[in-house]
Structures are given as structure tokens and as C-alpha cells.
Amino acid sequence: MIKAIIFDLDGVIVDTARFHFLAWKKLAQEMGIPFNEHDNERLKGVSRMQSLDILLGLGKVKLAKDRREALATRKNEWFVDYVESMKPGDVYRGVPELIVALKKGKYKIGLASSSKNAPRVVQLLGIEKKFDTIVDGSMIIDTKPDPEIFLLTAQRLNVDPSACVVFEDAEAGVEAAKRAGMKCVGVGSAVQLGKADLVIAKTADFQLELLNKW
Ligand code: G6P
Ligand code: MG
């Protein structure tokens, strides 16, 4: 029986996935590395430094640690600039209603984001109180596709992993959820998210009745 719903943040609750892409794209352009939305799929859900390493790998660029750290900081500054313009109305349409309906159904609600900016994003959106627990990138050692973040979220919700459903827009996130022994709803395209138990185009498309069947 499903007892908890765990949401990813970027690309599931709000369109910050776009901001991550724009910031990485700017860095790639500066460095002369070809980078498009298809390449960006590999960066979704993974940590900032791992994302940078994937980007540098695309350009076959090798750099010392301090230089890589400086580039990651630069990307983050651009990302934070985009984020600071966000307001409560930017939450994806239908998501607040979905959370209200889930709470009515007595499901526990968690947020599990690899982003260290997640606390600031939820604060700007005014949604921090909607979650029974929030786990972000600063609280884990291994990011998605490792299951650590989802297992920690389930533990904090005091729910067995097998009773959790994860909403994810990243291939790495779907893999992490499945490795955690959870059900997974992919939000986006079945091309990238085919390993999920169900793929929907938008978070708000989810039909609650399905939870009784899982
Ligand atoms: C999320 C996003 C990734 C991002 C990661 C780290 O998982 O999907 O694209 O790289 O968080 O975000 P941060 O804000 O800590 O750089
Ligand atoms: Mg995401």
C-alpha cells in the first residue's frame, strides 16, 4: 500500500530545469563546447560537479580541480540569478492542487532534490510548508542515480521504500527511485524515462486513483 509521495523539484514542481540548462549552455558557449538539450538530459538529477564533468567530457576538456570548482561556481551564480526572479505563481499549474488532494488522502509528502539550491527555491515559491520533509543536495553523499536521497527521504518520512512513489523528470532520478525499491512516475518523455512505472507529460496529469492499484 502506498503511503508516501516523494517529489523531485527541478522539472517536476517548477521549471528550474530550464534555468539549469540555460546556465550550463552559457558556460559551454564560453568554452566552445557544443551542448544541446539532448546532452542536457544527462545532467538532470546529478550533482553540480558531476554535471560539469559530463559537460567537460563532451568537449574532451581536462582541467585541474580548482579550475573546475571556479567554473561550477560561475554556473551556479548564473543559475541563482535566474532563480531569484521566481515567485509563488511559478509553481507548475495544477501541482498545488495535486498536493492538497494527496494530503487529503493522508499520504505523506516529501521533496528530494539533488540541488543545493532547493531550500532557496522552495522558499521563493512559498511551498516549504507543503512537505513533511525536504532533502536536498547538501544532505547526501551520492547523488542520483544512487538511491541514497530517496532512501533518506523515506526514512525521514518513516515509511518503507516499497510504500513510496517518486515523481521524477530525470533519467538518473528514475534509476535512483527504482534502485531504492520505489514506484516511479516519470514526468516528461518516455524516450528518456522508459524505466519508470508510468510516464506522464506533466506532473498535474497524474490520476490519484492509480495509487490504490499500486
Ligand atoms: C538537480 C538538477 C540538476 C542539478 C542538480 C544540482 O538534480 O536536476 O540539473 O545539476 O540538482 O543542483 P545545484 O543547484 O546544487 O547546482
Ligand atoms: Mg528534476
8 counts as catalytic: yes
The pLDDT value recorded for residue 83 is: 96
CA distances from 62 to 47, 67, 70 (A): 18, 10, 14
Q: DSSP character for 107? A: -
Ligand 1 neighbourhood includes 72 CB (under 6 angstroms): no
Tens place of pLDDT for every residue, the chain, 214 residues? 999 999 999 999 999 999 999 999 999 999 999 999 999 999 999 999 999 999 999 999 999 999 999 999 999 999 999 999 999 999 999 999 999 999 999 999 999 999 999 999 999 999 999 999 999 999 999 999 999 999 999 999 999 999 999 999 999 999 999 999 999 999 999 999 999 999 999 999 999 999 999 9
| Rounded CA separation 55/118 (Å) | 22
Q: Which ligand is nearest to the CA of 144?
A: 1
10 counts as catalytic: yes
